[in-house]
């Protein structure tokens, strides 16, 4: 991909992500590198080890999404890394940001970005965040893929997960996916998992 094609693609992913986050630029290079190293596959799958920008880059560039279950979230790992793999056999390529390859002198803002140590102003002021993002992008474009590591891997659970059955919750009367036969109510009604409370 030419530099202009790369920048055009970054602009498209920015629109999808709705923010001009520096992780998008880095993620586009990571996905492109993984695709090149993996080679053509008929059934592409992806794993992300973080829930931030990288997951949107993967979804936009590969068509592997959370909804179609071809993007597996392993965000509890928390590393800025991804794996693209063949869903037929699990053969894949993992690409990651190698902190040892980020020169603190040449890429100070990028180094701090990946350690979440940017100035306090970045978290409080939109203009400071925008300026920091521009510095990170400029630093990254100067070195590109040189901050990445990559490795051939084999994904363990590479097949699309099964479609689980549903029941009707006797409390809220909504259908819910269950995994255990003993589940009688949805997780929200049972109090095990909820994310909202009803307004009075």
Q: Nearest CA to 66 among 188, 175, 161, 169?
A: 161
Q: b/e string for 111-133 if b means 16 or more Cβ within 10 A? A: bbbbeeebeeebeeeeeebeebb
Cα–Cα dist 17/57, whole Å: 8
**3-154 domain in CATH 3.40.50.2000?**
no
Tokens 């400029």 correspond to: 138
Q: Nearest CA to 61 among 84, 81, 78?
A: 84
Torsion sign (Cα): 75, 76, 78, 81: negative
Cα–Cα dist 9/28, whole Å: 8
At residue 41, φ and ψ (nearest 5 deg) are -135, 150
Q: What is the pLDDT of residue 72?
A: 93
Q: List average pLDDT for each run of 10 residues in the chain, which is 200 residues long.
A: 91 95 96 97 95 94 94 92 96 96 94 90 88 94 93 88 86 88 86 80
* DSSP classification of residue 100: G
Cα–Cα dist 40/38, whole Å: 7
Q: Where in the chain is the domain with CATH 3.30.1330.130?
A: 3-154
């Amino acid at each position: 991909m030419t530099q202009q094609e790369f920048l055009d693609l970054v602009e498209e992913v920015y629109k999808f992500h709705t923010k001009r986050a520096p992780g998008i630029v880095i993620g586009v290079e990571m996905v492109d590198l993984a695709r090149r190293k993996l080679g053509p596959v008929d059934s592409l799958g992806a794993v992300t080890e973080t829930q931030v920008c990288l997951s949107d880059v993967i979804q936009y560039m590969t068509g592997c999404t959370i909804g179609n279950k071809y993007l597996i979230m392993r965000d509890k790992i928390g590393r800025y890394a991804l794996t693209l793999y063949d869903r037929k056999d699990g053969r894949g390529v993992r690409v990651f940001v190698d902190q040892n390859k980020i020169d603190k002198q040449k890429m100070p803002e990028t180094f701090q970005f990946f350690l979440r140590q940017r100035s306090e102003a970045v978290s409080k002021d939109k203009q400071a965040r925008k300026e920091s993002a521009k510095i990170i992008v400029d630093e990254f474009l100067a070195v590109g893929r040189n901050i990445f590591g990559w490795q051939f891997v084999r994904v363990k659970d590479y097949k699309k997960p099964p479609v689980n059955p549903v029941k009707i919750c006797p409390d809220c009367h909504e259908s819910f996916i269950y995994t255990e036969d003993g589940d009688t109510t949805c997780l929200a009604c049972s109090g095990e998992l909820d994310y909202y409370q009803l307004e009075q």
